[in-house]
Each structure stands twice: as C-alpha cells, then as structure tokens.
Structure 1
C-alpha cells in the first residue's frame, strides 16, 4: 500500500515557484528521506503535505485519500509533523501535560491522563516531566515532548523536518535511536527531511535528492555505501559528505 503519493507537485510562495513537478511514491511502513542543500525545497514539500503551504498544484494523497489545501482534522489523525526547532515548537507558557493533552481536547478524545502518561513513557520521559514548562527541559527533552505530541493521535505517518539538527551532537543519536524504535514498535511510516546523509544511512530505506526545487534522483539508502548515483549533483552531495565513510553503525 502507498502511504504518501505526490504527482506533479508544484509549490509556490507569492506566485513564485519553490518546488517544481515533484512525483514520489512512499510505501506504507517505509522510512523515506528528502535530502539536499538548504533552499532545495525539502521542507516546503513537507509543509504542503501537512497543509501549511496552501499554494500548490498537482496531487497529494495520503493512504489513498486525496489531500486538500489547508488544515484537515481527519488528516491530523493519520499524519503528524515533528518540527526542526524544539525551542520554537512548544508553547513556553504551557506545561508538558497541557501540550500533550491539547490534540486530545481538539479531537474530543477521552482518557487523556492515561494517554499522556503512555506517550511520555514511549519517548523515554518519566512522569516527573509532566508538569514542567519547556524552559525547564533540555533541548533533547523538548524534542522528546514534541515527538510525544505527534504520537498523541496515534498517526500512521510522521513527517520529520530535520528532527535533530537543532540539538547537540551528543543528544542527536539518542533521538535518532528513539525514532527508529518508535517506527519499529508502532509500525510508522516516516518522511524525513535532512541535509545529513549519515542520518539517512542510519534511518531510511530510500531517499530522493532535491536540487533547486526538483527531485534529481531517487535511490536506495544503500547507495550511500556504494556511491552508486547517476545524477551529477547527487554524486557531488555524496562526495561532499565523506563518500563511503558516511554510514554510521547502529547505536552511534
């Protein structure tokens, strides 16, 4: 089954195209990466899927259902997004309990206390974090809360926008291992945006290389070990990232 299908997706801001004619098929349960340099259009694709970039043409479908323009409550039960900056994505005046309860309140879901406790446990945070404010948490703990919030509605698909790039190097591996475990345990599909090719080698099954708003090549993540890319820009990106030394080992 196809989890996410993009056909001839073109996205504009103020009438100026930022993404051109992107077509992708991401399988149910797959972990797929969009890679490329800053400004290549990676995050813009995620924003369109999430309903945060309303000026687009083409087709977006999620689990076989066409995606309309703008927010969609039913879509939110299926697909959630984790943003890059854990410092900016959490409300500074709301406790962790309030942040995690909010999606349940919006969607009229009961048993909130139990769901909040379960989500904290899933992301490796104890109950002592439940009534803390974001300023009382480290960057890694904030990102764990952001991941827990995305899990509250029990989605099948997670959109991950550079989920570790704002964190200290010592914390990045912990979050990546958490995401890998959650995908396995919850049967999640991931669409991840990153410029970090070692992260792709560790996390993903396939990848699409973007340059200047276009997908220039789609390849299995094993190409990061072999260097088997056909597009010149993809080869350049691979070489600039360290070539065959790129793939980290599990747990690193």
Structure 2
C-alpha cells in the first residue's frame, strides 16, 4: 500500500472508566473506500469520532494524510478531513439558512468567493439555487443530507468520515444518496471511511471492510468476500449469514444511476 490516507495503530478509546474500543489498527489507502462494519454498540462510530476529534479520551496513534492526529478539535485538520453524520435532521442548525450553513466553514477559515462556492457546491450535490435561502425544515430528509454532504465538502477535504449516512433516510432515497457519494468520490478523488451495519451498502460503496465486535476488529476482508462468503472469523460468518448472504439485497445495490430529482 502507498502511504495511507488514514492510519490507526493500537487505538484504545474510553468513555470515563469504560474502555469501548481496544487495540484497533488498520490503514486506508488514498482514494479507497473502507467500511467499518458491526452491530450496534460494536465501537465503529466511536472510532470515527476519535479521528474527528469528538472522542478525546484515546490512546494509540491516529494519522491522516501522513500527519499525526492530536486530541480534540483542530482547525487545520478540518481542511483535510470532514465528517457526515447519520441524522440530517440533527446535524443542521434549524434557524440558519442553507446559505449560512454552507458559508460558515469558509468564513471560519477566511476563504473568499463564498457566494460562488455555495452555488458551486449545491450543484455538485444535485441541488439548485432555489434551495439556497431555505431553512432545513423546508427540505426533505434526502435534501438535508445532500446539504450536509455539501457542507463537508466546502473546505475541499480529501478524507471523508461517513457515519451511517443513509440509515436515517427513507429507503426510497437511500440509493440516491449512496450514488451521490460514489460519484463525488470518483470526481474529487476522495478517501472514504464509512461506518455501516448494512453489508449490501458495503458491496456497493466500499473496497474493503473491517468487522468489529465488542470494540475489537475481528477481521479485515475485501468486499469480494460478500459474494463468495470467504470470511475467516466465526462472528463475521454469522453476520454474513444474518444478512441473507446476498450483497445486492439493498436498493442501493441495484441502483444504476443517480436520480435526476433530488431526494
């Protein structure tokens, strides 16, 4: 592997006296889409939060694009790596227009051409200018998640952390958002680290997966294992069997192209 875009070594994460992630380590190559898979409570979202600076009590090593990650928030880091959260209803400020939401990262970092950049990024996620001065409650769930993705892209990061980015959406729009993310990765050369419990989403979006159980990684496998069942760990085999063993069971797996009408 080339120098990794994301590298974790011996990562332990605690909440108070409770250690919730133990000895996690993996590398994600530049341009790769890598999944963290597991049941609820397995620790996968906590790993993303540590990388993003939202879970400060950790030990081990985290580096992104070759730079070691410190604890807590880091303004410079935010230009390199951004996160898209699970719930678009909670991640957007209800009293701020979409224009304000998208302009804020540029203002914080002293970046100009804000109006042009907002229009450009709305177009990139499939929303036209009529959405610009609306409030989040005036948008559908899929439209809100498109705005959340646009906000994450405003600073032109190369690494995106995706925490179950479609699980809070209606099934009818999940495939559209996954197609959007897949296209943006290709067009902008992005690296994805995606948390999901949905194996068909992994088969559609990702190149490899790390399977977590009770805070530990039990197996790292290519997505081809979803088609031939060639998993080594008993927990992973059980997870695979529980999904029905069909990587195309989810609507996203069958989606051939992004919808013309924004979700």
TM normalised by structure 1 equals 0.98
Secondary structure of the residue aligned to 2:236 is helix
CA contact (8 A) 1:217 1:234 kept: yes
> 1:19 — aligned with what?
21
Displacement after TM superposition at 1:249 (Å): 3.6
User: 1:106-185 maps to which residues of 2 (within 5 A)?
Assistant: 106-185=108-187
Contact map agreement 2:53 2:71 (CA 8 A) in 1? yes
Out of 83, 86, 95, the residue aligned to residue 85 of structure 2 is 83
Structure 2 distance, partners of 1:15, 1:47, is: 18
Aligned to 1:4: 6
Kindly state the Cα deviation for residue 250 of structure 1 after the two structures are TM-superposed: 4.7
- Cα distance in 2 for partners of 1:251, 1:122 equals 19
- Indicate the SS of the match to 2:45: helix
Which residue number corresponds to residue 213 of structure 1?
A: 215
Local SS of the residue matching 1:33: strand
Alpha-carbon offset, residue 246 of structure 1: 1.8
Q: For the residues of structure 2 that align with 1:251 and 1:15, how far apart are their CA atoms?
A: 47
Give the match's secondary structure for 2:5: strand
1:55 corresponds in structure 2 to: 57
2:199 — aligned with what?
197
* Residues 147-187 of structure 1: CA deviation (Å, up to 9, x unaligned): 00000000000000000000000000000000000000000
Once residues 31 and 53 of structure 2 are traced to their aligned partners in structure 1, the CA distance between those partners, rounded to angstroms, is: 22
Gaps of 5+ in 2: 258-263
2:247 aligned with 1:246, yes or no?
A: yes
Q: Retained in 1: the 8 A contact 2:32–2:191?
A: yes
Decide whether the 8 Å contact of 1:34 with 1:42 is kept in 2: yes
Q: Deviations for 1:228-252, whole angstroms, at most 9, x for unmatched residues?
A: 0000000000000011x22324528
Cα pair 1:9 1:57 within 8 Å, conserved? yes
> Conserved in 1, the CA contact under 8 Å of 2:175 and 2:255?
no
Q: Distance in 1 between matches of 2:232 and 2:11?
A: 23
Give the C-alpha shift of residue 15 in structure 1: 2.1
Q: Contact 2:33–2:194 (CA<8 Å) still a contact in 1?
A: yes
1:96 aligns to what?
A: 98
2:247, 2:60 → 1: CA distance?
35
Say whether the 8 Å CA contact 2:48–2:163 is kept in structure 1. Answer: yes
Give the 3-state SS of the residue equivalent to 2:232 in structure 1. Answer: coil
Q: Which runs of 4+ in 1 moved over 3 A?
A: none
Deviations, residues 118-148 of structure 1 (Å, cap 9, x unaligned): 1000000000000000000000000000000
Q: CA deviation at 1:3?
A: 0.3
Indicate conservation of the 8 Å contact 2:10/2:60, yes or no.
yes
The RMSD of aligned alpha carbons is 0.8
Task: Check whether the contact 1:173–1:251 (CA below 8 A) recurs between aligned residues.
Answer: no
